[in-house]
Amino acid sequence: MDELEFRRRAYADPNQRDDDFLAAIEEADSRADFIQELQAMDRQLEQSLKVPVPEDLAERLLLKQNLTVHRVQKRRHRWQMAAAASVAFAVGLSLAVIKEGPADLGQHALAHVAHEAGYVDTVDERVDLTALNTKLASFGGQFSELPGQIYYANYCDFEGIRSLHVVMGSEQGRVTLFVIPKQSQMSLPAQFADQRYHGIGEDRGQVHLAIVGDKGQPLEPVLKRVEAGYQSL
């Protein structure tokens, strides 16, 4: 075995035990010394690689991976939200240009009730007057009384206006009340209806009060009770 081939194999693996390699080592004392130096370097390298592995290394690596995935998803979500907001703005701007005159909150109230009929017709969250007034306080008003039990009370969106959606009982049956902060370019008709529901509206202070019930359900007595119990703060 010539010197070039010997050194190539020695660098590759100084600990190999092939017969021709061992025979080549014995051909010269310098080769034996060279192999010993390489083997010593191998042992030092092996010792340096024997670093204790922390017991929670797997958990740390998994946490790092999850955090990386979370950051990527968060950036993607922000981009998607920004894109959606741009589309929504463009659509809203187009509708604003097309729409003539003030928005009809009566028709919006009818559509809102129809959309949530399957839920609010049977819901009973047993809301007390204190909880209702806590939500209503941001609108600058409160109720001292209502015609009957409060089954549901939560915020809702009315043509981009944060409003209050209330489902309550009365002597005339279960009805829906909307408390809508007043905004320019938006009006609430005194009466409005579709094929299934009808409603009546009244302005009090800084809000519109809209009552919606089934077609033919008497709503005037309910509105009178609501108006009597409403107070501006």
Check whether residue 108 and residue 193 sit in a common domain: yes
**Cα dihedral 32, 33, 36, 38 sign:** negative
pLDDT of residue 101: 46
pLDDT beneath 50: ranges in the chain: 93-101
Note whether residue 162 is domain-resident: yes
Check whether residue 122 and residue 203 sit in a common domain: yes
By the 8 A CB rule, do 152 and 123 touch?
Answer: yes
pLDDT of residue 23: 81
Check whether residue 139 and residue 202 sit in a common domain: yes
| Amino acid at site 199 | G
Check whether residue 36 and residue 87 sit in a common domain: no
pLDDT of residue 72: 63
pLDDT of residue 164: 92
pLDDT of residue 199: 94
CATH of the domain at 152: 3.30.200.100
pLDDT of residue 96: 47
By the 8 A CB rule, do 209 and 177 touch?
Answer: yes
* Three-class DSSP category at 168: strand
Q: What is the 3-state secondary structure (H, E, C) of 178-225?
A: EEEECCCCEECCCEEECCCEEEEEEEECCEEEEEEEECCCCCHHHHHH
Check whether residue 114 and residue 15 sit in a common domain: no
Indicate the pTM of the whole model: 0.57
155-187 pLDDT per residue, tens: 988 878 889 999 999 998 999 999 999 887 788
Check whether residue 113 and residue 160 sit in a common domain: yes
Check whether residue 34 and residue 128 sit in a common domain: no
pLDDT of residue 180: 93
Check whether residue 115 and residue 211 sit in a common domain: yes
Note whether residue 224 is domain-resident: yes
Per 3-state DSSP, the chain is made up of helix, strand and coil in percentages (nearest 5) of: 50, 25, 25
How many structural domains does the chain have? 3
- First vs last C-alpha separation in the chain: 103
pLDDT of residue 151: 93
Note whether residue 207 is domain-resident: yes
Task: Find tokens 């202070």 and name the residue.
Answer: 205
Note whether residue 86 is domain-resident: yes
Per DSSP, what are the bridge partners of residue 142?
A: 231
C-alpha torsion 83→85→86→91, nearest 10: 130
Check whether residue 188 and residue 80 sit in a common domain: no
Note whether residue 184 is domain-resident: yes
Q: Which two tokens stand for residue 65?
A: 């991976």
Check whether residue 16 and residue 71 sit in a common domain: no
Q: Quick one: angle between helices 29-48 and 3-12, nearest 10?
A: 20
Check whether residue 42 and residue 67 sit in a common domain: no
Check whether residue 87 and residue 111 sit in a common domain: no
- β-pairing, 207-214 with 150-158? unpaired
Note whether residue 110 is domain-resident: yes
In whole angstroms, how far apart are CA 141 and each of 16, 181, 188, 209?
Answer: 91, 10, 18, 11
pLDDT of residue 99: 46
> Which residues span the domain enclosing 68?
58-100
Note whether residue 152 is domain-resident: yes
Note whether residue 53 is domain-resident: no
- What is d(CA 128, CA 166) in angstroms, rounded to the nearest whole number? 12
Report phi then psi at 175, rounded to 5: -135, 165
